[in-house]
Amino acid sequence: VQVLADSHGNTIHLFERDCSIQRRNQKLVEIAPSPQLTQAQRDYIGELGVKAARAVDYENAGTVEFLLDQDNNFYFMEMNTRLQVEHTVTETITGIDIVQEQIRIADGMELQYKQENVNFRGYAMEFRINAEDPKNSFLPSFGKITRYYAPGGPGVRIDAAIYSGYVIPPYFDSMCAKLTVWALTWEGVVERGRRALDDMVVYGVKTTIPYY
């Protein structure tokens, strides 16, 4: 659950993200809102996220994480007191710039939004494009990117700092780009994700694009 809390006593949530698709306990695909939850469950964990932030007098953007079992019971796991990689899907469905809100909070300003004004529309998915070889136990793949093409079009967002000629070093995390897609329906976002992944080109290093 994404939360925002300022220094004036205002705390809101921006709904949930589903990060169930992981490898080695690292998130690969993030979805918002969760296609698994009912509206009642969504409201419930949103309230829990706000309560958790208020209980510790939290100020900032943060994420309260829960586990959901096979019987639809929620369990608190942890709170990440920072901006997370997958914030893009929340921004995409709500239209709220979380980074801008962080800066405003740090400057002592009030949140621009009340809970009753926060809504979401459609579905968003984020694919972490990692420089790894899916066919070889996901071993890191570093070296020079010989060609890079980012997909575009309606509902497609790329967050990346790579380019043709960029050299991926072996010293850091393997993520080199984030591909976020949005559509009004679940079927639409899946199809748009397939198309964007098919259009995306990274040559010179192995990536998780074909795996997705």
The set of residues, in sequence order, having a beta carbon less than 8 Å from that of 176 and lying 6+ positions away, is 129, 130, 131, 160, 161, 162, 168, 202, 207
Q: Assign residue 15 a region: left if phi > 0, alpha if psi is -120 to 50, beta otherwise?
A: left
Active-site residue among 17, 24, 42, 82? 82
The phi and psi torsions of 40 (rounded to 5 degrees) equal -65, -40
Closest CA to 15 of 39, 187, 27: 39
In the annotation, is 17 catalytic? no
The catalytic residue positions are: 82
